[in-house]
Amino acid sequence: MKRSSPTVRSSRPLARAAARVVPAVLLTAAAVGLASPARAATYQVTGADSQGLAVQSEPHVNHVLRYVPNGTSLNVSCQINNGDQVDGKVYNGRPFTTWDQLADGTWVYDWYMNTPTVGADGYSPGVPHCGGGSLPPLAAGCVDWPSAKYLQTPLTSAANNRAGYAWQNGSHYGEGYHVSCNGPTRMNQYYAIDLGMNQGDPALSPGGAGTVLYAGWAPSGWETCGQYVVVDHGGGWWSVVCHLSAIHVSKGQRITNDTVIGAVGGTGGFAPHLHFSLVYNASLTAAGGVYGGQSARPRHLLHLGGGQGYYDTITKGQQVWY
């Protein structure tokens, strides 16, 4: 694997004011929503360049821990078929996205291993699937937020009386008001997330840096969002945060990963909680209502608390750190 530039991580000054910086740790299979590794089998690194194969903390680029040379024996526990494509590798006309989890919980790109050649399903015959394989199938008409595009948990260490975490509660994917992948005339919120938080807790933009497209009370037809903020993160990718009790940004403002965009609330007729959704290629009415485009499933969310790392996505009832 080629050397990749380091991942830029948000410093989140607000979060660090209340807690010491938590050092990065290796993500275990459980940390990315996968089952514990199966019994390991030994395979060798092959075909890597002179630098060697990157051993990474995640099945995503830019998380290099070390490099190992060709010929190194590695204990492979299981595989996934939905990691990042590396070095532009293509197999059977599709991006090659198979990664091997090692016995110590780290990851390598399978292209440079002598595991059995992958089949049409993206797995090597005889190698266990991590946790039974991929995430649940993407809902028809929705898209995944690109794993290479910045995404963060939109809370700080001040959340819930400085506990620094929240639980997913209320509606999850496809539940309650969280419906529609690609309706042309409505706000598509199939993959919206609700987090249980206190009134007044600081809220960040889940997509990090960007330009505020709208900040204020939701217009007629969108009233259940209460006070909300819409941010453009470039490339057609937007984030939406609803039900705020106060808004601290304004239309046209450029924000950073650390900008507190508002305070958690329950405006729109709900108990206080943090509601956020992600959309791709949506539009905005003159009055400020989001419509069209596609609901995007949150993927690869940076968190600093609980041992810095990434959530592959947010599952129902999951504990979510700042």
Structure tokens at 114: 């002598």
Contacts of 225 (CB under 8 A, 6+ apart): 187, 218, 240, 242, 243, 268, 275
pLDDT, mean of residues 8-23: 34
Q: Which of 60-69, 161-170, 306-315 has the lowest mean pLDDT?
A: 306-315
Please count the other Cβ atoms lying within 10 Å of the Cβ belonging to residue 36.
12
Give the pLDDT confidence of 177-207 residue by residue, as tens digits: 999 999 999 999 999 999 999 999 999 999 9
Please, which pLDDT band fits residue 83 given cuts at 50, 70 and 90?
Answer: confident
| pLDDT exceeds cutoff 70 at 17 | no
d(CA 211, CA 255): 6
Q: Which residue has the tokens 């807690």?
A: 19
Q: What is the tens place of the pLDDT at every residue in 246-294?
A: 999 999 999 999 999 999 999 999 999 999 999 999 999 999 999 999 9
Q: Which amino acid is at 15?
A: A
Q: Provide CATH code, domain 143-321.
A: 2.70.70.10
pLDDT-derived band of residue 147, with 50, 70 and 90 as boundaries?
A: confident
Q: Which of 206, 209, 168 is nearest to 301 (CA)?
A: 206
Mean of pLDDT over the chain: 86
What does the pLDDT read at residue 106? 83
d(CA 298, CA 156): 18
Q: The tokens of 174 are what?
A: 């496809």
The span from the CA of 238 to the CA of 308, in Å, is 25
Compute the distance between CA of residue 207 and CA of residue 221 in angstroms, rounded to an integer.
25
Mean pLDDT, to the nearest integer, of 208-223? 97
Please check the confidence at residue 5 and state whether its pLDDT lies above 70. Answer: no
User: What's the sign of the alpha-carbon dihedral 286, 291, 292, 298?
Assistant: positive
Query: Are the C-beta atoms of residues 257 and 218 closer than 8 Å to each other?
Result: no
Looking at the DSSP assignment, which residues form a beta bridge with residue 275?
194, 242
Most confident range (mean pLDDT) of 56-65, 71-80, 186-195 is 186-195
**Displacement of CA 190 from its chain's centroid (Å):** 16
Length of the chain, in residues: 322
Can you name the residues that pair with 102 across neighbouring β-strands?
Answer: 76
Say which residue, 5 or 242, is predicted with more confidence: 242
Check if the beta carbon of residue 207 is closer than 8 Å to that of residue 226: no
Q: Read off the pLDDT of each residue in 235-239 and give the average, rounded to a whole number.
A: 98
**Sequence spans of domains, the chain:** 13-132, 143-321
Residue 309 pLDDT > 80: no
Task: Name the least confident of 74-78, 112-116, 181-185, 262-266.
Answer: 74-78
Mean pLDDT of 140-165: 95
Q: What is the dihedral of CA 291, 209, 199, 218, to 10 degrees?
A: -20
- Alpha-carbon span 197 to 289, nearest angstrom: 25
